[in-house]
Amino acid sequence: MRLAAPLLKIADYALPPRCPGCGEVTGADHGFCATCWGSLRFLGPPWCASCHLPFDYDRGDGAQCGQCMADPPVHDGVRAAVAYGDVARQVALRLKYGGRTAYAETMARAMSRLMPEGADLLVPVPLHRWRIWGRGFNQAAMIAGALSRSSGVVADVHLLRRVKATPVLRGLGHRGRAKAVAGAFALAPDAKANLAGRTVVLVDDVHTSGATSAACAALLKRGGAAKVILLCWARVLDDAVD
């Protein structure tokens, strides 16, 4: 162990911490440079009581957005650490396609402040086995693991499964997306015993159209979950981004 300390110092000097957004050298692991930090829009209340869409001002307890009043969601809210933008996108892409697996911890640290009180179980949005074989990992499962370590809430990466490969949802429209994810997910054989009456936190990296999270939430509730709250790194707020 005495020999390890000098080697770690050398490694820290040779491989200093870098900003997850742009790669600039920073003072600590998982820390953003001032420019990238300043460009992130951190999300939180005030928000829609149903879907947690951010409001520009506090509209009072129980206030809902127009979409939720017209079509209430099956889930119990989407909590996102930041709004989807250039920096948030870079971090997500570097984790998902660049193999920067340490960024799962970066995301989890930002997401942890929005962990719902009374959460019983963390469940990552699953990938189809073909995607896992190609990528080598499920980024949502890695984020859920990091959240579990920091919060003490158990993460179950096998409870929810993706049994059907789905196409890219971009450009399909609301009905097309819902059709594409229909029947794509299934519960593990023993899932109902673990879900009964529990508050489930569904974990993902980026929330876009909501078709995937809606399908997962509906299945988890049919399995007995009392609440299903989505917790993610970034949420797309611009309607022009599908």
Whether residues 24 and 99 share a domain: the answer is no
Q: What is the pLDDT of residues 51-69, one digit of tens each?
A: 999 999 999 889 999 999 9
Number of domains, the chain? 2
Whether residues 30 and 50 share a domain: the answer is no
Between 209 and 138, residue with greater pLDDT: 138
Whether residues 13 and 99 share a domain: the answer is no
pLDDT score for 10: 43
Q: Is residue 240 part of a domain?
A: no
Task: CATH number of the domain at 66, please.
Answer: 3.40.50
Between 3 and 233, residue with greater pLDDT: 233
Whether residues 90 and 183 share a domain: the answer is yes
Least confident of 154-168, 173-187, 202-216: 173-187
Residue 213 neighbours by CB under 8 Å, 6+ apart = 75, 78, 125, 202, 204, 207, 230
Q: Is residue 16 part of a domain?
A: yes
Whether residues 4 and 14 share a domain: the answer is yes
Q: What is the pLDDT of residues 16-43, one digit of tens each?
A: 889 999 999 988 899 999 999 999 999 9
Whether residues 218 and 117 share a domain: the answer is yes
Q: Is residue 241 part of a domain?
A: no
- Residue entry with tokens 């005495």: 2
Whether 127 has a pLDDT exceeding 70, the answer reads: yes
pLDDT score for 129: 80
pLDDT score for 209: 81
Domain of residue 158: give its range.
Answer: 40-235
Whether residues 137 and 227 share a domain: the answer is yes
Whether 239 has a pLDDT exceeding 90, the answer reads: no
Q: What does DSSP assign to residue 76?
A: S
pLDDT score for 182: 66
Whether 242 has a pLDDT exceeding 50, the answer reads: no
Q: Is residue 124 part of a domain?
A: yes
Mean pLDDT of the chain: 86
**C-alpha span between 218 and 220 (Å, rounded):** 6
Q: Is residue 123 part of a domain?
A: yes
Residue 14 tokens read as 């040779």
Give the strand pairing for 121-124 and 185-187: unpaired
Whether residues 45 and 55 share a domain: the answer is yes
Whether residues 69 and 23 share a domain: the answer is no
Whether residues 129 and 178 share a domain: the answer is yes
Q: Which of 101, 109, 114 is nearest to 142 (CA)?
A: 101
Whether residues 209 and 108 share a domain: the answer is yes
Mean pLDDT throughout 179-193?
Answer: 82
Q: Is residue 29 part of a domain?
A: yes
Q: Is residue 202 part of a domain?
A: yes
Q: Is residue 14 part of a domain?
A: yes
Other C-beta atoms lying within 10 Å of the C-beta of residue 128: 17
Whether residues 14 and 119 share a domain: the answer is no
3-state secondary structure of 42: strand
Residue 180 tokens read as 């594409």
Give the strand pairing for 185-187 and 160-162: antiparallel
Quick check: pTM over 0.75? yes
| Three-state secondary structure string covering 176-189 | HHHHHHCCCEEECC
